[in-house]
A and B are shown apart, each in its own frame.
Chain A
Amino acid sequence: MTRMLSTDVDRLQDVGAQAVAIARSIGADHAVASVRANAGVRVTARGGEVDTALRDAGQGLTLTLYRGARAGTATTAAFDPAAMAQAAQEALAIADLMGTDPDGLPPALADMALDTPLPPIDAPSGRDPSALRAMALEGDALLAATIVPGATIETLVAGVASSEGAEALVTSAGFSRGERYSSHHAWLVAMARDGGGAVNDSVESNDRRFDRLDPMAALARRVVARVAGQLGARSIPSQRSPVLFEARAVGALIGDLVGALSGNPQQRGATFLPDALGRQVAASHLNLWEDPFEPYGLRSGGYDREGIAGRRRWVLNGGEAEGLFLGTRSARRLGMTSTGNAGGPWNLQLTSQTPGGSFDALCRQMGRGLIVHRMTGGATDPVTGNWTYAVSGSWVEDGMRVHAVTDVTVGGNLRDMLMGIVAVGNDVERSGVVLTGSILIDDLQIGGAA
């Protein structure tokens, strides 16, 4: 099969070993080399033509050197010995300027994923740029051929991307492993226009296996339904009301939860969930499962960027925080051990112990309130949990959608919001790093000018 990336893991491990040797030779007590390379093609189309065709290629070596308990890091895109030597010298010069930080030393070799199994995450597409071009043009043509009474549909972007990468981690303590991975992406951004103005929305499909991407026809149907559904949107009066977050909007909320449970904010006390471990932080029916090893999972991997394996575990069990997201440094500072999350969370799945049924069932359960299709901007205060966002959505009366909604805000505090999740739907889809259904929150502040 044709590969876009010509280098392989062995070569990157060699580069890492050379860099570590150079580092030791100039006086580093420990050295960690992280080496990566990627290659890909991205094509976008609109108006019946290819808009952009891009070939991406990149590589990098990040070298962290330790003199005693002082660390310095340098990154270079060149892999020749002179560039590696320069990076090593820069890293060592930085280390000499640092304060001592014993907690920042690399993990012990015995704690590292020396021979744990690696989940499959590499499935090169074998597609050449012309195949991607044809697919992007197909997406554009499907949108152009769509007829919506009283409105015109236009492609803003029809895009297809396919990429491959490889990474290796080599340390002076004796760790040396690498992984290859692939990543494929198809997306459509469409605009709908009628006498009242124009709206736009997007859909996307991401997978490590190209042939598992949603077909363009399915993406086109979804994006047209979304933009057409937003025509005629209007505001609503400010009020308190339940809010139903569509699955695709839930990932951002769970992302805020992951941030709050992460090592750095936890050890700094800069989180709205301080000392969370063992405490009830979400509604008592909620579970959050983490799985680093899901075959072809978008966030799967054999170990984190420090070489520590994650594990299958409950992060939330019955709403109680059973796990934090820790790397080595923050774990040591908290008197704990790394959870293998130095690179962030692995694949997550939000579920309820009392399944909430279909999306329509959640609408009926809500009765009267706001459906949030997406957050269009806003901010979370990670320390206080204050949460205010601009949203687009739909208004529901008697369990039925009445009209599309725009120019409204939703506000609350994440501590209350997590406790106020009353149901999780079975309309499961991937939203960022999280597999989740839609969620219903009992009471939030809605702002509108109507």
Chain B
Amino acid sequence: MTAGMQPAMASYDGAVARTLTPAGLDPADLSRTLGALAAPGIDLADLFFEAKRTRVFRLEDGRIAGGSFQIAQGVGARAARGGQVAFAHSADMGADALATLAEAVRALDGGVGGTVAVPITGAPPRHDLYPPIDLNLPGSSVPWIALLDRIDAKARAADPRVMRVEAVLRVVDQAVLVADLDGRIAGDVRPMMQLFVTIVAEAGGRRATGQAGLGGRHGAGEVDDARLAALVAQAVDMACINLDARPAPTGPMPVVLGPGYCGVLFHEAIGHGLEGDHHRKNQSAFTGRIGERIAAKGVTVVDDGSLPERIGSFGIDDEGVAGACTPLIEDGILTGLLQDRLNAGLMNARPTGNGRRQSYAHLPMPRMTNTFLLNGKHAPGDVVASVKDGIYATAFGGGRVDIVSGRFNFTTTQAWRIENGRITAPVEGATLIGVGHEALKHISMVGNDLAIDEGVASCSKQGQHLDVGVGQPTIRIDEIMVGGAA
């Protein structure tokens, strides 16, 4: 970043330039619309403007086989009366559209509209988590294409069993601006790139796949040759190892989870269950358990939206609250909830910077950012060596949780048997299951090799899809149910 630059103001100014300016809006328009939303009894209302450009390129058979560009923009208007929320959105951001939107919200709410303009008085917050760069300027595709062009040759050179090489590159440039009933205004420009590589390997009539990806809030320059080579090697290794994989064993057994993406365990097992909306509605298996010990001493899990350049990070959340670090488990004790403004307000709590939404056309709700287990003291090799008969997993294809019961599951994409402390034969995908408030009690060793995933994790909640981060050091779980096909 250029010395002397003021990224915070550049983020806010960039957001204004991308949202309000093209629509011909000024703060008086926002004040008037917020005033119209502020019917008697409405205690929360906001306007969320978004302008987003997405470029996707696809590599197939050694050439760039597909490319697309998408412009999405619009504004969402929300008004809440206690827990009852009325919401409408429009792709048109002009002043007339705002008036129509306020009317639509009022009709949904069933109340009468307010007439007193809401003064915008707040100063926009600042941050320096990532530069407010525009990754999708005209002509900006060349370095991205150059990146993709190197992947096929690298993969085929890595192993002769590589049969297919595919890659997808996604470059997103999102500007958001939010103004609310309390006169606050905030804006941000959020660059984001993700690159996924899929390999199909073949040997002896058998085929298997491997995937790897990377991502972050930065440009193509941050993906140097070493990082690209590591990405390709990871996908090729997974495909080739999986060529020899056999159906996974079934039953409760010790499991060692490697560093990084395996932290999806904490996202599923506890993260979702600590989102404020589920607690306000008394629907989470963790409701009433705050302060309880749910894991051994040494287990500390946080949600931190303020890590630089991570895809789960943001300078402000989608309600204008700064990204922050919220402890979820401290030394084994369940401590915190993740809150947005609506649920924090109704629960007499503070918003924690977790109010997120998929787009202007979706309602915000409490969502995770980067959720991870902090380091322990064990060397990773010692953790593996401690297991006589179990599974060692290093990659997962995502997971799910039932908030009400706390039951979670996630499925391996790369795993091996551990026999007498040594990693032996690779096994095919197995689904691991557990109950959030019980499973973590079985964590007996925490490694010292904390890693956050490479920038590939995503999360779905009530149909809304978001990028997140997950992470952990190597851990040993003494017993978890492993569901294989053998």
Contacts and interface: CB of A to CB of B under 8 A. Distances in A.
B433 interface: yes
Interface in A40-72: 41, 46, 49-59, 71-72
Contacts of B91: 57-59, 77-78
Interface in A54-105: 54-59, 71-78, 83, 86-87, 90-91, 93-95, 97-99, 101, 104
A389 interface: yes
What are the nearest 4 A-B pairs in CB distance? A409-B483, A99-B63, A377-B400, A411-B485
A409 to B, nearest CB: 2
Residue among A98, A198, A390 having the largest count of chain B Cβ atoms under 10 Å = A390
Contacts of B252: 449
A54 B405 contact: no
Interface string A382-409: 1110111110000000000000001111
A337 interface: no
Given A198-B405, A379-B411, A51 B483 contact: no
A377 B250 CA distance: 16
B92 to A, nearest CB: 8
Given A57-B90, A93-B141, A447-B482, A52 B431 contact: no
B66 A387 contact: no
A418 to B, nearest CB: 14
Given A51-B83, A56-B89, A99-B65, A383 B207 contact: yes
A376 interface: yes
Nearest to B479: A449
A191 B404 contact: yes
A94 B431 contact: no
A411 B247 contact: yes
Contact of B485 (A46, A200, A412): A412
A146 interface: no
Interface of B: 57, 63-74, 83-91, 104-105, 107-109, 138-139, 141, 145, 163-164, 200, 202, 207-209, 242, 245, 247-248, 250-252, 281, 283, 285, 361, 363, 397-400, 402, 404-405, 407-411, 413, 428-431, 433, 435, 481-486
A55 B104 contact: yes
Interface of A: 41, 46, 49-59, 71-78, 83, 86-87, 90-91, 93-95, 97-99, 101, 104, 129, 156, 191, 197-200, 238, 268-270, 376-379, 381-384, 386-390, 406-413, 445-449
Contacts, number: 228
A445 B481 contact: no
B68 A74 contact: yes
B73 A410 contact: no
Nearest to B486: A445
Given A386-B485, A409-B409, 14 more contacts: A46-B281, A55-B88, A55-B105, A78-B71, A87-B71, A104-B65, A156-B281, A199-B404, A376-B402, A377-B400, A378-B431, A409-B484, A410-B483, A449-B251
A97 B481 contact: no
Please classify the interface of chain A as helix (H, G, I), strand (E, B), loop, or mixed, using the class held by over half of its residues: strand
B168 to A, nearest CB: 13
B209 A447 contact: no
Nearest to A54: B87
Nearest to B396: A379
Contact of B209 (A41, A270, A389): A270
B481 A409 contact: yes
B68 A407 contact: no
A57 B250 contact: no
Given A383-B200, A387-B485, A77 B72 contact: yes
A104 B180 CA distance: 47
29 contacts: A53-B108, A53-B109, A54-B363, A57-B91, A71-B67, A72-B69, A74-B68, A74-B70, A75-B71, A76-B70, A76-B71, A78-B73, A94-B67, A97-B67, A156-B404, A200-B405, A268-B164, A270-B209, A376-B409, A377-B400, A383-B200, A383-B208, A383-B209, A386-B428, A388-B484, A388-B485, A409-B484, A445-B484, A445-B486
A50 B400 CA distance: 28
Contact of B68 (A94, A390, A412): A94
A269 B163 contact: yes
Contacts of A407: 407, 433, 435, 481
Contact of B69 (A71, A91, A386): A91
A377 B407 CA distance: 10
Residue among A55, A73, A199, A377 having the largest count of chain B Cβ atoms under 10 Å = A377
Nearest to B209: A383
A197 B408 CA distance: 15
Contacts of B200: 268-270, 383
A411 B430 contact: yes
B69 A75 contact: yes
Contacts of B245: 384
Contact of A447 (B63, B67, B251): B251
Given A51-B83, A53-B85, A448-B481, A384 B428 contact: yes
